[in-house]
A and B are shown apart, each in its own frame.
Chain A
Amino acid sequence: MVARTVDQTEHLGFMSLRSGSLRAVLFALIWWILTDGATDSWLVGAPMVLLATVASIALLPPSSWSLTGIMRFVPFFLWRSLYGGVDVARRTLHPRLPIAPGLFYHPWRLPPGLPRLFMANTVSLLPGTLSAELDADYLQVHLLDEQKDFLSELEMIEQRVAAMFGISLPPSSRGE
């Protein structure tokens, strides 16, 4: 960050203002939930919300995101979670334990930071996949059943996460 033009600085200032106020609303909502909406708690709550907002902006710089992306992610996540639960329950209850574990190196297409972390966590919660290790180039994914179509599962997660953060992905390097 050497020479930032006036335009960029203004843009960044606008971004922090926008995400700052959004985060403040979110923290206020959490406070309201935690205190069951007790009116007299805001004497403590208001400064806490302010403090939390300042701390969050300092620790996690504002990033872009898309509301439609988030609204599409939620039903996708819920549905795949249910599927994943049923899938793993079926395998544990089956007398012959039908699993065929394997390991897959998924090359990153998402930018570093929050999008990658978000994908790694989603991968661990959705059917048949578990984030084992992540480095600069790859996400190591442990597979419960390597015969299953895990590639499309991973690609689907990647696309949904990218849409949430308003990122357009580079074309797949897998080249099929």
Chain B
Amino acid sequence: MTLGDYLSLLLLIAGAIFFLAGTLGLLRFPDVYTRLHALTKADNVGLGLMVAGLALQAESWAVAGKLLLIWLLVLLAGASVAHLVAATARQRGIKLWRR
């Protein structure tokens, strides 16, 4: 394995840890709003790290660009959907959990 391979491995494992943390947050957090926090933030970073790890292994610039494009589209979709879910919850009068 080359240095690049080790770096890819490191980035992929780090990305997986963030996905795990995001999913754990989905299960542990008390209401819809806090769960959205866990998903948007952790998945943003998790996928970003995975994309970086895979881009290091890409055979061409076009493939690396495709990975970057996927990350940007997921960011856009994630932020938009999180906002739609939160706005709908607010409009339905779902109260936010407070300590």
Q: Taking beta carbons and an 8 Å cutoff, which residues of A are in contact with B? A: 29-30, 32-37, 78, 81-82, 84-89, 91-93, 97, 99-103, 120-122, 124-128, 130-134, 140, 142, 144
Distance (whole angstroms) from the CB of A57 to the closest CB of chain B: 20
Residues of A within 8 A of B24 (CB): 92-93
Q: Is A32 a contact partner of B62 (Cβ separation < 8 A)?
A: yes
Main SS at interface, chain B: helix
Q: Taking beta carbons and an 8 Å cutoff, which residues of B are in contact with A? A: 17-18, 21-22, 24-25, 28-29, 31, 33-34, 36-38, 40-42, 44-46, 48, 60, 62-63, 65-66, 69, 75-76, 78-80, 82-83, 86-87, 89-91, 96-99
Known: A36-B62, A101-B99. A87 touches B86 (CB 8 A): no
Q: Please, which residue of chain A has its CB at the minimum distance from the CB of B98?
A: A101
Q: Is A101 a contact partner of B18 (Cβ separation < 8 A)?
A: no
Known: A84-B41, A85-B45, A102-B98. A142 touches B33 (CB 8 A): yes
Interchain CA distance A154-B75 in the complex, whole Å: 19
Residues of A within 8 A of B83 (CB): 120-121, 124, 130-132
